[in-house]
Structure 1
Amino acid sequence: MAYFSDVRPLERTGGSVERALRDAFHLPAIGASVAEARRRVLARLTEWDIGTVVRDDAQLVVSELFTNAVRHTDSERVDCELRVTGARLRLAVTDQGAGSAGRVSGAASKAGDAEGENGRGLLLVSALAEAWGVRPGAGGRGHTVWAELGFGPSAP
């Protein structure tokens, strides 16, 4: 894991980070990795002095994105990257396999289907994130699903 830790706590910098922070890790594409991803995100964001609300939201977002990568692709591993720049946290989860990890299913479109199981996770991501999206993986295989959360004085 790589990260930068030579920043002042957020409380002393007006709610933003003066230097970009980055961490990346990968885990096997199995159900147990979802909880491990949440733990790693919580530990890193706590170390970086990111506020409780953003940490909680980030754990939910990573949980949903990891779950989708594990359940809906044929990946052997899932990669996760966290990056803090200014007053924004960007989370990116990348799978290796074919599938639809970053698509809202027809049964639970943006209009929402409260009774459908598939697609609700991305509706949650959409509600928590200021922005999110999907880009194809390198070589035409896999997907990276990313979400950005804001924090600081101007964040909701």
Structure 2
Amino acid sequence: MTPLDNNLSSDTVPRVTDLRAALTLRFSSTPRGARLARRIASQQMAAWGWPYGTEANDTVELITAELAANAVTHGRVPGRDAGLRLVRDADARHVRVEVADVRGERLPLPEPDGRPLADGGRGLVLVATLAEEWGVAPRSGAPGKTVWAVVACP
């Protein structure tokens, strides 16, 4: 897997002036890997000054959990890892969550599929509600996509 920053445009990425303001992690495309990504995101938020149980930590944890679960459910290719990247802006007011997988042809649907009793299909509605903005970008130099969300951290 190539670094996750290959597909980021400078106008949507928080500026990183402190090398400790970014975290990059590869995780297995399994439910266990998605849990690991969620837990590490929460730990990183605590290390950056947003303790467990705060709105910012809980929001980043939930968004990471949803994007990682989608990556291992819909973007999985056996033997290929997924990726997590967290970037804190220089003012520590926003965190960008990025989750990459290798299935670029399987783009997320931003709306539920209309089946009210379906087991899934609502996760990105939560992401859209909690994030200031979110989107999908192709990974340059490698197959796949990156789903990202920017979270305001008061």
Q: Aligned pair in 2 of structure 1 residues 106, 141: CA closer, same or farther (>3 Å)?
A: farther
Do residues 42 (structure 1) and 46 (structure 2) align? Answer: no
Of Structure 1 and Structure 2, the greater strand share is in: 1
Q: Pairwise mapping of residues 4-19 of structure 1 onto structure 2 (< 5 A)?
A: 19=17
Q: Pairwise mapping of residues 14-25 of structure 1 onto structure 2 (< 5 A)?
A: 19-20=17-18, 21-25=21-25
- Worse overlay, 69-78 or 21-30: 69-78
- Normalising by structure 1, we get a TM-score of 0.75
Do residues 78 (structure 1) and 82 (structure 2) align? Answer: yes
1:96 aligned to which of 73, 92, 102: 102
Mapped partners of 2:50, 2:87: distance in 1: 12
Mapped partners of 2:138, 2:32: distance in 1: 25
Partner of 2:32: 32
- Normalising by structure 2, we get a TM-score of 0.76
Query: What is the percentage of aligned positions where both structures have the same residue?
Result: 27
Do residues 55 (structure 1) and 57 (structure 2) align? Answer: yes
Mapped partners of 2:125, 2:28: distance in 1: 25
Gap regions ≥5 residues in structure 2: 1-15
Mapped partners of 2:88, 2:34: distance in 1: 21
Opposite residue 120 of structure 2, the aligned amino acid is N
Opposite residue 69 of structure 2, the aligned amino acid is T
Q: For residue 65 of structure 1, report the CA deviation from its aligned partner.
A: 0.3
Mapped partners of 1:140, 1:42: distance in 2: 28
Q: For residue 98 of structure 1, report the CA deviation from its aligned partner.
A: 4.4
1:151 aligned to which of 147, 150, 153: 153
Count, aligned residues: 132
Mapped partners of 2:58, 2:41: distance in 1: 10
Give RMSD over aligned pairs. Answer: 2.3
